[in-house]
């Protein structure tokens, strides 16, 4: 797959893909795993977006994928959840176990 283009899946695929399929994705599997490890402690959306763009080097200009895609995919697949008390994103127990 070309580095400059990442073919996005259809919306129904996005909602039904498993956490394992994201973690083993040939283009972004490592990115998904790194995000879950980063979110072992609660993080704001801004912190996650900065981590993805600055630390992991995944930018829209380079890959045509927004950082929010990763948050949404991990939430939909059960790896990440919104913590109402801290108002931050945090890896679920399943997500933590998947990358341990």
DSSP class of residue 87 equals T
- Whole-angstrom distance, CA of residue 65 vs CA of residue 68: 8
Please report, for the chain, the start and end positions of each structural domain, with discontinuous segments joined by +. Answer: 11-98
Q: Which CATH number fits domain 11-98: 1.10.10, 1.10.287, 1.10.3470, 1.20.120?
A: 1.10.10
Q: Is 64 left (phi over 0), alpha (psi -120 to 50) or beta?
A: left
For 32-70, the pLDDT digits (tens) are 999 999 999 999 999 999 999 999 999 888 888 888 999
For 3-29, the pLDDT digits (tens) are 444 455 554 455 568 999 999 999 999
Alpha carbon dihedral 21, 23, 24, 29, in 10-degree steps, equals 130
């Amino acid at each position: 797959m070309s580095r400059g283009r990442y073919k996005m899946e259809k919306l129904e695929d996005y909602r039904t893909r498993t956490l394992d399929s994201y973690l083993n994705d040939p283009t972004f599997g490592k990115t998904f795993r790194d995000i879950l490890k980063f979110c072992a402690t609660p993080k704001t959306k801004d912190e996650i977006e900065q981590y993805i763009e600055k630390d992991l080097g995944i930018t829209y200009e380079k890959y045509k994928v927004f950082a929010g895609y990763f948050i949404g995919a991990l939430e939909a697949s059960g790896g990440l959840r919104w913590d109402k008390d801290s108002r931050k994103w945090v890896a679920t127990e399943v997500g933590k176990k998947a990358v341990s």
